[in-house]
């Protein structure tokens, strides 16, 4: 599905399926291991994508039995965060029955949980992301799975779920640093996330299976997420693990940190 080929000099060289992409990453302040390898890139992102071969603007990669649609977006992303693969593998094993996926993006976590047998509620404020996620569902042959696709502001949706009395035994979220809801609502990580966690405490069942938080481009430590999970899960017996999301390269020994995470699972 994905391979990190090399990194250095402010950039990373990755292979998504059969295509090689050269993308910027300002935290990469070390030098490249294999400079010659970078000449094989099919596309390079500077201020926009520059095509070096006749690769398509959209293509598919496979994770387990899922067919995921990728494309070259104007913001350098492709539609998946491959460093989350170990988390997808982990969620498959936890036998959750009802999962809430907040900030669901292109829906990979939603599809992983649905394929494992869960009823899933996906929530995202971006219509484009929701459409992309539904396309991944169709491409993966999972149109018959019990997934609710919700276009909404996350805080407002969870607040309504509290009032409705709806409960979930697992929650997955990828909160952004900053964002807007479909009606102009404002999301700010340090201000909004604690409020979301307080609401999430009210929609968890008495016997939850897991909670997972990922975060990118935030000026905080994974210990912040760990501490928030301690507050959220203080009434439940389980284990918390937190750390960095990491890509391991094929060349050299320079692992690449891409974000942070914290996860809780029942003991």
pLDDT tens by residue, 45-73: 999 999 999 999 899 999 999 999 999 99
41 and 86 share one domain: no
92 and 21 share one domain: no
Rounded to 5°, the CA angle 69-101-237 comes to 135
* Residue 68 domain flag: no
Give per-residue pLDDT as tens, 90-104.
Answer: 999 999 999 999 999
Instruction: Provide the CATH number for the domain around residue 131.
Output: 3.40.50.150
Distances, alpha carbon 249 to alpha carbons 6, 15, 82, 118, 223, in Å: 6, 11, 12, 33, 25
pLDDT at 213: 98
Q: 210 is in which domain, residue-wise? A: 79-266
Least confident residue range of 24-33, 38-47, 146-155, 176-185: 176-185
**75 CB neighbour count, 10 Å cutoff:** 6
Whether 63 contacts 85, CB under 8 Å: yes
**Residue keyed to tokens 């030098």:** 31
Alpha-carbon distance of 170 to 157, in angstroms, equals 16
Alpha-carbon distance of 115 to 8, in angstroms, equals 37
Give per-residue pLDDT as tens, 251-260.
Answer: 777 999 999 9
Mean pLDDT over 20-25 rounds to 98
Q: Name residues whose C-beta falls within 8 Å of residue 145's C-beta, 6 or more positions apart in sequence.
A: 111, 114, 115, 120, 137
* Residue 74 domain flag: no
* Residue 65 domain flag: no
88 and 166 share one domain: yes
Q: Which tokens in the block code for residue 26?
A: 């300002």
225 and 168 share one domain: yes
Give per-residue pLDDT as tens, 229-241.
Answer: 999 999 999 999 9
**Residue keyed to tokens 């396309």:** 135
244 and 173 share one domain: yes
Q: Which tokens in the block code for residue 185?
A: 């609502």
Query: 122: part of which helix (H) or strand (E)?
Result: strand 119-124
Alpha-carbon distance of 161 to 199, in angstroms, equals 9
* Residue 230 domain flag: yes
Instruction: Provide the CATH number for the domain around residue 13.
Output: 2.60.40.1180
* Residue 118 domain flag: yes
Q: Which tokens in the block code for residue 263?
A: 């996860």
Summary mean pLDDT of the chain: 96
Count of domains for the chain: 2
Strands 210-215 and 58-63: unpaired
State the chain's maximal CA–CA distance in angstroms.
59
* Residue 71 domain flag: no
């Amino acid at each position: 599905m994905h391979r990190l080929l090399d990194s250095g000099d402010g950039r990373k060289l990755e292979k998504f399926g059969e295509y090689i992409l050269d993308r910027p990453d300002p935290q990469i302040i070390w030098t490249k291991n294999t400079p010659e390898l970078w000449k094989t890139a099919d596309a390079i992102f500077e201020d926009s994508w520059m095509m070096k071969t006749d690769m398509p603007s959209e293509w598919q990669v496979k994770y387990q039995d899922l067919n995921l649609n990728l494309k070259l977006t104007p913001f350098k992303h492709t539609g998946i965060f491959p460093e989350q693969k170990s988390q997808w593998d982990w969620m498959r094993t936890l036998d959750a029955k009802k999962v809430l996926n907040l900030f669901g993006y292109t829906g990979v976590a939603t599809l992983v949980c649905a394929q494992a047998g869960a009823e899933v509620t996906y929530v995202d404020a971006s219509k484009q992301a929701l459409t992309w996620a539904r396309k991944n569902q169709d491409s993966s042959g999972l149109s018959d799975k019990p997934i609710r696709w919700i276009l909404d502001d996350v805080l407002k949706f969870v607040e309504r779920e509290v009032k409705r009395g709806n409960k979930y035994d697992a929650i997955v979220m990828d909160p952004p640093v900053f964002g807007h809801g479909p009606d102009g609502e404002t999301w700010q990580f340090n201000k909004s996330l604690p409020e979301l966690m307080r609401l999430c405490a009210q929609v968890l069942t008495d016997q939850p299976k897991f909670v997972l938080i990922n975060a990118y481009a935030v000026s905080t430590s994974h210990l912040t997420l760990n501490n928030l999970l301690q507050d959220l899960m203080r009434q439940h017996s389980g284990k918390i693990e937190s750390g960095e999301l990491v890509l391991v390269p094929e060349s050299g020994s320079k692992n690449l940190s891409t974000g942070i995470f914290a996860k809780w699972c029942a003991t």
